Structure 1
Amino acid sequence: MRQAVGQTMRVNGRSIYVEESGRGPDWVVFEAGGGLGRTCWDPVLPLLADRGRLVAYDRAGFGRSGRTAVQLGIDDMAADLVAMVEAVVPGPFVLVAHSMGGLVARRAAEGLGPRLRGLLLLDPTPESAPVYDTFDQTAAKVDRAMGVTQALVRSRSLARMVSGNIRRVFPADTYAAMLAEDFVPAGIAQTRKEFRAVAAAIPQLRTEPPVLPTCPTVLLSASRPVKGRKQQHAAIAEHQRRWVQTLPDGRFEEVDSGHLIQAEQPEIVADRVGHLLDRTPGRHARSA
């Protein structure tokens, strides 16, 4: 099994679980996508172990973090990310975020200010894409399906069956941790909450989008669509590209991968993190 050591801490009245690894003067923070936690970064972390301190965590309600009785929104998750960084990271850092985590990261960037040395987004959710015009209806259908999944994963054999896409791309020890922590009734229940949070956030983000990050930003877009979703996939990629083009220092790059870029192309992710660290000098004392 994976040997990472973590700690539980309180942020905004909630309990979250944080793991630190690596060594060196630089700092990198990782924000997972919906339905995933700190373990999804396992393929990337060893590749960056010599570059600096690496911080991965489970959002409140997920993985080893404390359960939540209320429905948290994207803004709540962003506030938790900012509070965790303030408590753990002593200086500027690069932020890496996947999928829904891109919404969290973009909102958190408003509060992180100059501490953010760079932003790496892996196939992030672009709220402007047409596929999200009726996302409330899609979310309702997905929620009903996940309600069935939540009951099925009480059986370990069925949990392995419904998580086959994860098993195929992650290392065995990482998958074992995911199976034990995420593909359980409580984990699926939290995934349903996060999906609802995205549905609620889409119209809000369209009306009041997050302030554009001014730090160097790289967006890696997965080039391989899910079967039967080629047209939707192309529209999402185009809106990802359009968003990057609005940034003062942004770069769009297609990657030969499915949605889970950190598992399928960890070397590319680590390389782009390294480039962001090299581009901007780090200050290793705590910012005022």
Structure 2
Amino acid sequence: MREVPGRRVQANGRYVYVEESGQGQDRVVFEAGGGCGRTCWDPVLSPLADQARLVAYDRAGRALSGRTTQQLSIDDMAADLIAMTKAVVPGEFVLVAHSMGGLVARRAAERLGSRLRGLLLVDALPETSPVYDTWDQTTKKIDNMLAVTQTLSRFPPLARLFSGNVRRLFSADTYQTMLAEDFTPAGISQTRQEIQAVAAAIPQFRAQPPQLPKCPTIVLSAARAAKGREHQNAAIREHQRRYAENLPDGRYEDVASGHFIQAEQPNLVADRIRRLLSRNS
């Protein structure tokens, strides 16, 4: 498995596990999507290693951060992200967020103010998307499926079967770490909690959306839909485009990729991070 030095950092009475790599004066912080930890950013770190100091972490309750005794909300996760950056990242930084992490990042952006140098949203779903209209029902179905997966993941061959889509996207050492940390009963239990957090957050985001980030923002949208989900994907992309167009300084971009853009197009993601870093250099 991968071996990268890291440390636990206190955040609001909880702990998050942080890995720092790369070198340079610039700083980049990565927020993972639901069901994922710091390892999902591995493909992007190498192309940026000689250009910036890179910070990837596990949210409280996930992977090496250790278990939590409470159900964390999206607001809790955003508060932890802010606390972690205060402890680890001096000055300004670019924030990169994937999928569910986009909700966390946008909520955190309200309080980060001038420290936020740029924001890169990697196939993050805006709360306006019609996909969320029936999200309560979707959450129940996903949770039922994950409950079964959680039990069966005690058996390594079945855990590898359930995670086959991830195995094809990441390097062998990264995948082995994911298998040991995320595709376990504890990891899947945390994923279930994160899905519940999203379900609770959507009505709040719709009633009172987070303030629009004032920093330069790039929205990457996965253009390749899963089979049978072409119509849904088109709707998601349209709402991602609308969100980007409403930003004070936003840009929307279609990417020839599935949902894990950072794994399928790591050099593109790294290039967009460089663009955000160069905007205020």
Provide TM-score, normalisation by structure 1.
0.97
**Who is 1:58 aligned against?**
58
**Who is 1:146 aligned against?**
146
The Cα offsets for residues 113-150 of structure 1, whole Å up to 9 and x where unpaired, read as 00000000100021101111110111011101100000
The Cα offsets for residues 125-182 of structure 1, whole Å up to 9 and x where unpaired, read as 2110111111011101110110000001000000000000000000100000000011
**Who is 2:270 aligned against?**
270
The Cα offsets for residues 35-61 of structure 1, whole Å up to 9 and x where unpaired, read as 000000000001000111100000001
The amino acid that maps onto 1:195 is I
Structure 2 unaligned runs (5+)? none
What SS does structure 1 have at the residue aligned with 2:168? helix
RMSD: 0.6
Which structure 2 residues correspond to residues 238-257 of structure 1 after superposition, within 5 A?
238-257=238-257
Could you list the structure 1 runs, at least 4 aligned residues long, displaced by more than 4 angstroms after superposition. Answer: none
**1:121 aligns to 2:118 (yes or no):** no
**Who is 2:232 aligned against?**
232
**1:196 aligns to 2:196 (yes or no):** yes
Structure 1 unaligned runs (5+)? 282-288
The amino acid that maps onto 2:79 is A
Aligned residues between the structures? 281
**Who is 1:12 aligned against?**
12
What SS does structure 2 have at the residue aligned with 1:9? strand
**Who is 1:284 aligned against?**
none
Asked if the contact 2:9/2:87 (under 8 Å) is kept, the reply is: no
**Who is 2:44 aligned against?**
44
**Who is 1:67 aligned against?**
67
TM-fit CA distance, 1:3 = 2.7
The Cα offsets for residues 44-81 of structure 1, whole Å up to 9 and x where unpaired, read as 00100011110000000101002012111100000000
Asked if the contact 1:14/1:66 (under 8 Å) is kept, the reply is: no
TM-fit CA distance, 1:251 = 0.2
What SS does structure 2 have at the residue aligned with 1:149? helix
Which structure 2 residues correspond to residues 89-238 of structure 1 after superposition, within 5 A?
89-238=89-238
Return the alpha-carbon distance in structure 2 between the equivalents of residues 127 and 247 of structure 1: 15
What SS does structure 2 have at the residue aligned with 1:132? helix
**Who is 1:285 aligned against?**
none
Paired-residue identity, %: 68
